[in-house]
């Protein structure tokens, strides 16, 4: 598994147009040592170098992992929109901040300079203020991948409002729950979005969601496709007309370092999604520092991250890292498969992207569809850095990415991190770290990793150890709390192994100290890089059935959801499988829908009534060995006393 090492190609450094930020592994090791030995000195220096504080901080850090009360850069004041917009607009207003590539390759792309961005963000910020949005209020954003979505995030930040971006693939029910939890007065959306040639009815979904949200007084809608929408007078406003009323510059609100910048919902191992809250200074520093060192971003770069702004990857690496560092972010509204499988190559060559950051699920799809000759015509000469995120990347997919898109000339970084960590925590540094295909590799600066034995709870020191991955020192971009439920925050991350942050992932440290991520050890399934909790899906079916949701390996999506369902009715209605799938699509999102549904008479349970997923997983993956089943009531199809487990497929 860990034998193959791919060294950074010699020409990478020789042909670097700006000179890499780090000279090599010696510098990485020295800086890493310093970041662990003297974290406060290290982080204070980074913060002063990479962020612009309107009032300097007096204390770098207080708090501990055991208490879950970490705070950074106290006394400091800054504004994320100032750091991402104003300072670049002042220095170089004509530099392009955002390039938008539409879904359809025949439609024109758009470029927004830092100077223009300042105007767009200011106007929208003024408009939000006029709608009564105040410092600390949460604004919900439900939008496709267009520049206006970034304007909306930064406009919130400008007036000190907290943004909550909900992925535009979520259903109206899921959106409603998130708007209600955030108690948003204002929701920002578009008439429609467009993906893979299809219209996404964003406004219609918002209309349905806000029916049950008395907190919402304003829905601001950007015109995007020109599609028909229904209109509620007094509540709905067209942004395009409204924004003309506001000035193209308003000053940014000074925020305390620890004021929240955004809320983002993610799945945990229990049913209800968690609203993870991130701070202003700490989060922004994590984005800036990993952008600089992991991706080696320079101001002239054009960074293309295919991650949607509805997920943390989109927040940190489509929006905040590129903009805080003052480079160009390339955003793409479409899919890798429309109108053809060469779409990513088209986007990269058309916009001369220097970086391309994507997920293994897209790569697996392309790997099965693309032949070398399909992509030969594209000019990829500007491309310097490739990145992977979201799930473990199998060595063969890694190699395909490196060889076919990277032409063996680039550096490929596998980046491991989470919504809660804010920015990368394990990653190979572009152009620096010798790469191992399929391996996230080494800890980022300031991240003190531990592998823990899940049984004894003891840290496993040294190399060649397998266990669960934890972190033993606080770092600035860690999430500060879960909205409305600090106890859940403590129990999920800090009370599992006292004194450590628990990631929920299994990991192996090889003989070179490289970290191999082995996937979740809790009840979270990762479908195409989207996190979803098994119990969230199970509880959505509770009315109709008792269900066990199992993640099984899948060639295309990494893991696929299988549902094993025991119905509450004595008769099994025809077509019930499709009905259940539809129900999940509507109540959560299409990506949460099971690939297969198995209707069974009874689920295997322990004597105390807990479903034994381990057995179902083995059945579904074709394993014959069931392990110890002495405590299981309905143990296996072979057990004569039990009803056959699978009635029909």
Where would I find the beta strands (DSSP E) of 105-245? 110-113, 138-142, 162-165, 186-190, 193-195, 198-200, 218-222, 236-238
> Which residue in 193, 201, 446, 504 binds ligand 6R9 (CB under 6 A)?
504
Residue 448 makes CB contacts below 8 A (sequence gap 6+) with 36, 471, 472, 473
Residue 649 makes CB contacts below 8 A (sequence gap 6+) with 596, 598
In this structure, what token pair is assigned to residue 297? Answer: 């971003």
State the DSSP H helix or E strand holding residue 172, giving kind and residue range, or none if neither: helix 172-182
In this structure, what token pair is assigned to residue 196? Answer: 């893979």
Integer Cα distance of 245 and 222 in angstroms: 15
Q: Find the shortest distance in angstroms from Cβ 336 to ligand 6R9.
A: 17
CB-wise, 279 or 441, nearer to ligand 6R9?
441
CB-wise, 151 or 320, nearer to ligand 6R9?
320
> Which residue in 53, 260, 303, 416 binds ligand 6R9 (CB under 6 A)?
416
Integer Cα distance of 566 and 570 in angstroms: 10
Mark the segment that binds ligand 6R9 (CB under 6 A) among 112-120, 254-262, 413-421, 447-455: 413-421
CB-wise, 12 or 417, nearer to ligand 6R9?
417
The reply on whether position 185 binds ligand 6R9 by CB under 6 A is no
Q: Find the shortest distance in angstroms from Cβ 553 to ligand 6R9.
A: 14
The reply on whether position 535 binds ligand 6R9 by CB under 6 A is no
CB-wise, 186 or 294, nearer to ligand 6R9?
294
> Which residue in 526, 528, 557, 635 binds ligand 6R9 (CB under 6 A)?
526
Question: One symbol per residue from 310 to 339: x for binding ligand 6R9 (CB under 6 A), - otherwise; what is it?
Answer: -xxx--------------------------
Applying CB under 6 A, what is the total number of residues that bind ligand 6R9? Answer: 24
Distances (CA, A) of 40 to 278, 289, 364, 442, 449: 20, 15, 41, 21, 17
Name the closest residue to ligand 6R9 (Cβ): 419
Residue 381's CB is within 10 A of a number of other CB atoms, namely: 11
> Which residue in 417, 497, 500, 508 binds ligand 6R9 (CB under 6 A)?
417
Mark the segment that binds ligand 6R9 (CB under 6 A) among 109-117, 174-182, 475-483, 524-532: 524-532
Integer Cα distance of 397 and 101 in angstroms: 26
Whether the bond into 227 is cis, omega within 30 of 0: no
> Which residue in 190, 280, 328, 415 binds ligand 6R9 (CB under 6 A)?
415
The interface with ligand 6R9 within residues 125-164 (CB under 6 A) comprises none
What are residue 604's phi and psi, to 5 degrees?
A: -70, 130
CB-wise, 73 or 508, nearer to ligand 6R9?
508
Mark the segment that binds ligand 6R9 (CB under 6 A) among 164-172, 244-252, 285-293, 515-523: 515-523
Q: CA end-to-end span of the chain, whole Å?
A: 36
Cα dihedral 166, 169, 174, 175 in deg (nearest 10): 40
The reply on whether position 540 binds ligand 6R9 by CB under 6 A is no
The reply on whether position 534 binds ligand 6R9 by CB under 6 A is no
Mark the segment that binds ligand 6R9 (CB under 6 A) among 157-165, 208-216, 415-423, 575-583: 415-423
The reply on whether position 505 binds ligand 6R9 by CB under 6 A is yes
The reply on whether position 392 binds ligand 6R9 by CB under 6 A is yes
Integer Cα distance of 444 and 447 in angstroms: 6
Integer Cα distance of 605 and 205 in angstroms: 39
CB-wise, 190 or 266, nearer to ligand 6R9?
266
The reply on whether position 414 binds ligand 6R9 by CB under 6 A is yes
Mark the segment that binds ligand 6R9 (CB under 6 A) among 106-114, 308-316, 335-343, 545-553: 308-316
The reply on whether position 422 binds ligand 6R9 by CB under 6 A is no
Query: Residue for token digits 């000074």?
Result: 254
Closest alpha carbon to 146 in 310, 380, 313:
310
The sign of the CA dihedral 163, 167, 168, 171 is: negative
What are residue 218's phi and psi, to 5 degrees?
A: -135, 135
The interface with ligand 6R9 within residues 425-464 (CB under 6 A) comprises 440
In this structure, what token pair is assigned to residue 181? Answer: 């939890």
Q: Find the shortest distance in angstroms from Cβ 497 to ligand 6R9.
A: 16
In this structure, what token pair is assigned to residue 376? Answer: 């030969």
The reply on whether position 252 binds ligand 6R9 by CB under 6 A is no
Beta pairing, strands 274-279 & 465-471: unpaired
Q: Find the shortest distance in angstroms from Cβ 472 to ligand 6R9.
A: 17
Query: Residue for token digits 């905040």?
Result: 320
In this structure, what token pair is assigned to residue 630? Answer: 């002495």
Region of 44 (left: φ > 0; alpha: ψ -120 to 50; beta: rest) is alpha
Q: Find the shortest distance in angstroms from Cβ 4 to ligand 6R9.
A: 17
Mark the segment that binds ligand 6R9 (CB under 6 A) among 115-123, 305-313, 332-340, 486-494: 305-313
The reply on whether position 391 binds ligand 6R9 by CB under 6 A is yes
The reply on whether position 203 binds ligand 6R9 by CB under 6 A is no
Binding site residues, ligand 6R9, CB under 6 A: 266, 311-313, 389-392, 414-419, 440, 503-505, 517, 519-520, 526, 529, 531
């Amino acid at each position: 598994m860990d034998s193959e090492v791919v060294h950074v190609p010699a020409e990478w450094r020789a042909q670097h147009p700006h000179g890499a930020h780090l000279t090599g592994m010696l510098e990485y090791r020295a800086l890493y040592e310093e970041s662990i030995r003297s974290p406060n000195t290290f982080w204070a220096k980074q913060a002063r170098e990479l962020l612009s504080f309107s009032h300097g901080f007096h204390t770098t850090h207080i708090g501990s992992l055991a208490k879950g009360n970490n705070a950074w850069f106290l006394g400091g004041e800054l504004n994320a929109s100032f750091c991402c917009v104003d300072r670049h607009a002042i220095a170089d207003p004509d530099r392009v901040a955002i390039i938008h590539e539409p879904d359809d390759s025949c439609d024109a792309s758009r470029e927004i300079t830092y100077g223009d961005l300042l105007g767009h963000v200011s106007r929208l910020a003024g408009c939000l203020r006029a709608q009564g949005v105040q410092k600390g209020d949460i604004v919900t954003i439900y939008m496709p991948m267009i520049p206006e979505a970034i304007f909306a995030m930064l406009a919130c930040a400008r007036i000190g409002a907290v943004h909550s971006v909900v992925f535009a693939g979520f259903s109206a029910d899921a959106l409603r729950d998130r708007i209600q939890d955030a108690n948003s007065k204002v929701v920002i959306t578009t008439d429609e979005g467009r993906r893979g040639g299809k219209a996404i009815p964003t406004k219609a979904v918002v209309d349905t969601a806000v029916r049950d949200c008395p907190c919402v007084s304003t829905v601001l809608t950007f015109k995007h496709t020109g599609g028909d929408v229904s209109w509620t007078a007094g509540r709905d406003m067209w942004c395009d007309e409204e924004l003309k009323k506001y000035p193209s510059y308003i000053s940014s609100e000074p925020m305390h370092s620890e004021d929240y910048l955004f809320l983002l919902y993610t799945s945990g191992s229990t049913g209800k999604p968690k609203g993870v809250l991130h701070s202003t200074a700490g989060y922004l520093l994590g984005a800036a520092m990993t952008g600089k060192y992991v991706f080696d971003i320079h101001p002239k770069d054009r960074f293309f991250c295919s991650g949607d702004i509805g997920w943390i990857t989109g927040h940190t690496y489509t929006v905040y890292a590129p903009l805080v560092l003052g480079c160009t972010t390339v955003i793409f509204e479409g899919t890798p498969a429309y109108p053809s499988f060469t779409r990513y190559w088209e986007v990269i060559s058309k916009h001369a992207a220097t970086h391309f950051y994507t997920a293994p699920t897209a790569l697996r799809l392309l790997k099965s569809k693309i032949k070398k000759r399909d992509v030969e015509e594209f000019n990829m000469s500007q491309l310097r850095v490739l990145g992977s995120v979201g799930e473990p990347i199998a060595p063969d997919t890694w190699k395909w990415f490196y060889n076919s898109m990277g032409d063996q000339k680039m550096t490929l970084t596998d980046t491991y991190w989470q919504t809660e960590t804010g920015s990368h925590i394990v990653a190979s540094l572009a152009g620096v770290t010798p790469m191992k295909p399929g391996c996230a590799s080494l800890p980022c600066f300031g991240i003190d990793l531990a592998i823990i034995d899940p049984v004894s709870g003891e840290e496993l020191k040294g190399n060649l150890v397998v266990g669960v991955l934890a972190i033993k020192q606080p770092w600035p971009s860690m999430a500060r709390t879960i909205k409305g439920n600090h106890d859940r925050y403590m129990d999920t991350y800090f009370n599992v192994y006292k004194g450590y942050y628990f990631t929920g992932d299994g990991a192996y440290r090889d003989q070179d100290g490289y970290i191999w991520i082995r996937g979740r050890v809790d009840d979270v399934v990762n479908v195409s890089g989207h996190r979803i909790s098994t119990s969230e899906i199970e509880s959505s079916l509770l009315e109709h059935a008792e269900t066990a949701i199992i993640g099984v390996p899948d060639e295309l999506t990494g893991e696929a959801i299988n549902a094993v369902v025991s119905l509450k009715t004595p008769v099994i209605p025809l077509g019930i499988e499709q009905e259940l799938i539809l129900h999940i699509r509507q109540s959560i999102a299409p990506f949460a829908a099971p690939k297969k549904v198995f209707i069974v008479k009874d689920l295997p349970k322990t004597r105390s009534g807990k479903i034994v997923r381990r057995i179902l997983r083995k059945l579904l993956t074709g394993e014959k060995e069931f392990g110890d089943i002495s405590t299981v009531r309905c143990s296996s199809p072979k057990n004569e006393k039990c009803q056959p487990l699978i009635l029909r497929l």
